[in-house]
Chain A
Amino acid sequence: MRYRPGQEVRVAARPHVGHHRTPAYLKGKTGTVMRVHPSFLNPESRANGKDGLPKQPLYFVSFQQSDIWPEYRGDPADRLYVDVFEHWLDDAG
């Protein structure tokens, strides 16, 4: 897999037509890999009846809430953790 815990990654901001599991609010945002999950079948191709191979690594990525929401009301330490597939991430380091 391409990314390691502690690595800064940016979520791709590309528009996507069709089923995908990267929320709009996250696109273009930068976070930190906290955990590398196992790899899973690609939901985008599975959604079209394909076999979903090759499996894609999945990452547990942590974001600072105030980076995501301009008007975030909360503690500066608050975080948002999201599972993101490798093909939606770029190195931000």
Chain B
Amino acid sequence: MSSYGHDHENHEHPHESLTDSGEPAAAARVRALVDLLVEKGVVESQDVREQIDWLVSRSPGDGARLVARAWVDPEFKQRLLADARAAALELGLDPGPSPVVVALENTETVHHMVVCTLCSCYPRALLGPPPDWYKDFPYRSRAVADPRGVLDEFGVHLDEGVELRVVDSTADIRYLVIPRRPAGTEALREEELAALVTRDSMIGVSIPAPSPIAA
């Protein structure tokens, strides 16, 4: 193990070298690997197909439903905080294979932000696949060491006296942030509230707006 080595500071998303077909070499290699493993009986095509179907069905809308229900139903919120996995199942949502999902509530005095510094652990079942920036080195490095700098880049400025609590998902637990309900949303129905809950607010790098953001 070396010390820091040379750092690809200006190379945020490394790019595959493209073959003539415009695809990275890895693309053909992955396809060939799948075919080979199916031929060998290591996996079945059906296994792979089921995983694909599951992955493409995931979206942050599921997480948003959990948050919106927590906003309108204080008892549900307590159940969500006690056991997010069970709360998701209550709403007919798939909490994913992780045996424990923990919901972290943002309050007037605490703002949570989630990272996986070692790889890319993320509540995919409830949010869909993570964005590139979550998996890349700058976020993984700076979210723990300079979280307020990171939030500045996301346009988030916390009020005076708010504790910024960064959570590094290093093990089997998956973390989901419950952002604060925006002021001025008392008249909104639950589905309208869910539309305000963005993926980034459930990671903790954004704060929901009181009305849908125009595209």
Complex interface: chain A residues within 8 A of B117 (CB): 23, 25
Q: A74 to B173, Cβ gap below 8 A? A: no
Q: Are B162 and A21 in contact (CB under 8 A)?
A: no
Nearest CB on B from A74, distance (A): 5
When the two chains form their complex, are residues A21 and B170 in contact, meaning their CB atoms are under 8 A apart? yes
Confirm or deny: B27 has a beta carbon within 8 angstroms of a beta carbon on chain A.
no
- Compute how far the CA of A11 lies from the CA of B75 in the bound complex, rounded to whole angstroms: 36
A74 and B172 contacting across the interface, CB-CB below 8 Å: no
Report A34-93 residues with CB < 8 Å from chain B CB: 37-38, 40, 43, 58, 60, 65, 68-69, 72-75, 77-85
A78 to B168 Cα, complex, angstroms: 14
Provide the bound-state CA to CA distance between A68 and B50, in Å: 43
* CB of B100 within 8 Å of the partner chain: yes
B144 proximal to A (CB < 8 A): yes
Q: Are B163 and A58 in contact (CB under 8 A)?
A: no
Give the top 5 A-B pairs by smallest Cβ distance, nearest first.
Answer: A83-B171, A77-B163, A74-B148, A78-B164, A82-B168
| Residues from chain A with Cβ under 8 Å of B164 in the complex | 74-75, 78-79
* Contact call A78/B171, Cβ cutoff below 8 A: no
In the complex, B55 has a CB within 8 A of chain A = no
Number of A residues with CB within 8 Å of any CB on chain B = 26
Interface mask (B140-165 → A, CB under 8 Å = 1, otherwise 0): 00001111110000000000011111
Q: Beta-carbon contacts of B59-80 to A below 8 Å, as 1s and 0s?
A: 0000000000000000000000
Q: Which A positions have Cβ atoms within 8 angstroms of B? A: 21-23, 25, 37-38, 40, 43, 58, 60, 65, 68-69, 72-75, 77-85
Residues of B within 8 A of A25 (CB): 117, 144-145
Given contacts A38-B99, A75-B163, A77-B163, are A82 and B148 in contact (CB under 8 A)?
Answer: no
What is the bound-complex CA distance between A40 and B174, given in angstroms? 13
Kindly list chain B residues whose C-beta atoms are within 8 Å of the C-beta of A69: 145
CA distance A75 to B159 in the complex (A): 11
A78 in contact with B172 (CB, 8 Å):
no
- Point out the residues of chain A lying under 8 angstroms from B148, CB to CB: 73-75, 78
Q: A25-B117, A82-B168 are in contact. List 6 more A-B contacts (CB 8 A).
A: A22-B170, A25-B145, A75-B163, A79-B163, A79-B166, A81-B165
Give the chain B neighbours of A72 by CB distance below 8 A: 145-146
Closest to A35 in B: B102
Chain A: CB-nearest residue to B145: A69
Complex: how many Å from CA A25 to CA B2? 15
Alpha-carbon distance between A78 and B118 when the two chains are bound, in angstroms:
21
| Pairwise interchain contact A58-B165, C-beta atoms closer than 8 A | no
Instruction: Contacts A37-B173, A38-B99, A69-B145 given; indicate if A75 touches B168 (C-beta within 8 A).
Output: no
Of B118, B147, B163, B171, the residue contacting A40 (CB under 8 A) is B171
